[in-house]
A and B are shown apart, each in its own frame.
Chain A
Amino acid sequence: MTLIDKAADLPAPRSEPDSGPLLEVRDLHVEFRTNEGVAKAVNGVSYSVSAGETLAVLGESGSGKSVTAQTIMGILDIPPGKITKGEILYRGQDLLKMSSEQRRKIRGRKIAMIFQDALSALNPVFSVGYQLGEMYRKHQGASRKEAKARAIELMDRVRIPAAKQRVGDYPHQFSGGMRQRIMIAMAMALEPDLIIADEPTTALDVTVQAQVMELLAELQREYNMGLILITHDMGVVADVSDKIAVMYAGRIVETAPVHELYRRPAHPYTKGLLNSIPRLDQKGQELYVIKGLPPTLTNIPPGCAFQPRCPMAQDVCRTDIPPLYEVKDADDRAMPGRGSACHFWKETLDG
Chain B
Amino acid sequence: MAELDKPGGGPNDQPADAVPETPSLTKVEQVDAATDESAIAVIDRPAERGEPILQVRNLVKHFPLTQGIVFKRQVGAVRAVDGVSFDLHQGETLGIVGESGCGKSTVAKLLMKLEEPTSGEIFYKGEDIARLSGRALKAVRRNIQMVFQDPYTSLNPRMTVGDIIGEPFEIHPEVAPKGDRRRKVQEFLETVGLNPEHINRYPHQFSGGQRQRIGIARGLALNPEIIICDEPVSALDVSIQAQVINLMEKLQDEFTLSYLFIAHDLSVVRHISDRIGVMYLGRMAEIGTDRQIYDHPTHPYTQALLSAVPVPDPDVREDRERIILTGDVPSPANPPSGCRFRTRCFKAQDKCAEEEPLLAVPAVFSGSDSPANHESACHFAEEKSVLAG
Contact = CB atoms under 8 A, between A and B. Distances in A.
B245 A60 contact: no
Interface stretch (A100-108, A110-118, A202-210): A202-210
A278 to B, nearest CB: 4
A233 B99 contact: no
A238 B310 contact: yes
Nearest to B324: A210
Contacts of A234: 238, 312
B242 A232 contact: no
Task: Classify the secondary structure of A's interface with B.
Answer: helix
Given A177-B328, A211-B324, A278-B271, A290 B242 contact: yes
Interface string A288-309: 1111011000000000000000
Given A178-B328, A206-B266, A235 B317 contact: no
A280 interface: yes
Contacts of A283: 270-271, 290
Contacts of B322: 210
A161 B326 CA distance: 11
Contacts of A286: 246, 249
A238 B314 contact: yes
A258 B314 contact: yes
A345 B81 CA distance: 52
- Contact residues on B (Cβ < 8 Å of other chain), bracket: 35 or more
Interface in B295-331: 304-305, 308-315, 317, 322, 324-329
Interface in A197-247: 205-211, 213-214, 232-239, 241
B83 interface: no
Contacts of A93: none
A57 to B, nearest CB: 14
A236 B315 CA distance: 13
Interface stretch (A23-31, A75-83, A269-277, A334-342): A269-277
B264 interface: yes
- Contact residues on A (Cβ < 8 Å of other chain), bracket: 35 or more
Contacts of B387: 280
A320 B290 CA distance: 47
A97 to B, nearest CB: 35
Interface string A109-133: 0000000000000000000000000
Given A234-B238, A262-B314, A289-B243, A280 B308 contact: no
Given A210-B308, A238-B312, A286-B249, A273 B264 contact: no
B309 A293 contact: no
B30 interface: no
Contacts of A272: 239
A206 B309 contact: yes
Interface string B194-215: 0000000000000101100000
A257 B243 CA distance: 28
A287 interface: yes
B267 interface: yes
B99 A239 contact: no
B328 A175 contact: yes
Contact of B310 (A236, A262, A287): A236
A207 B310 contact: no
A14 interface: no
Contacts of A210: 308, 310, 322, 324-325
B239 A259 contact: no
A205 B264 contact: yes
Nearest to A208: B328
Contacts of B329: 205
Contacts of A177: 328
A294 B315 contact: no
A280 B388 CA distance: 11
B133 interface: no
Contacts of A206: 99, 264, 266, 305, 308-310
A181 to B, nearest CB: 11
A61 interface: yes
B239 A273 contact: yes
A289 B328 contact: no
Contacts of B325: 207, 210-211
Interface in B167-209: 207, 209
Contacts of A276: 238-239, 241-242
**Looking at B239, B271, B328, which has the most chain A CB atoms within 10 Å of its CB?**
B239
21 contacts: A205-B264, A207-B324, A207-B325, A210-B325, A211-B324, A211-B325, A235-B267, A238-B311, A239-B311, A258-B314, A259-B315, A273-B238, A274-B312, A276-B242, A278-B242, A278-B271, A279-B267, A286-B249, A287-B242, A287-B245, A290-B239
Interface of A: 60-61, 161, 175-178, 205-211, 213-214, 232-239, 241, 258-259, 262-263, 272-274, 276-280, 282-283, 286-291, 293-294
Interface of B: 99-100, 207, 209-210, 237-243, 245-246, 249, 264, 266-268, 270-271, 290, 294, 304-305, 308-315, 317, 322, 324-329, 387, 389
Given A214-B324, A238-B314, 4 more contacts: A206-B266, A210-B322, A232-B238, A294-B239
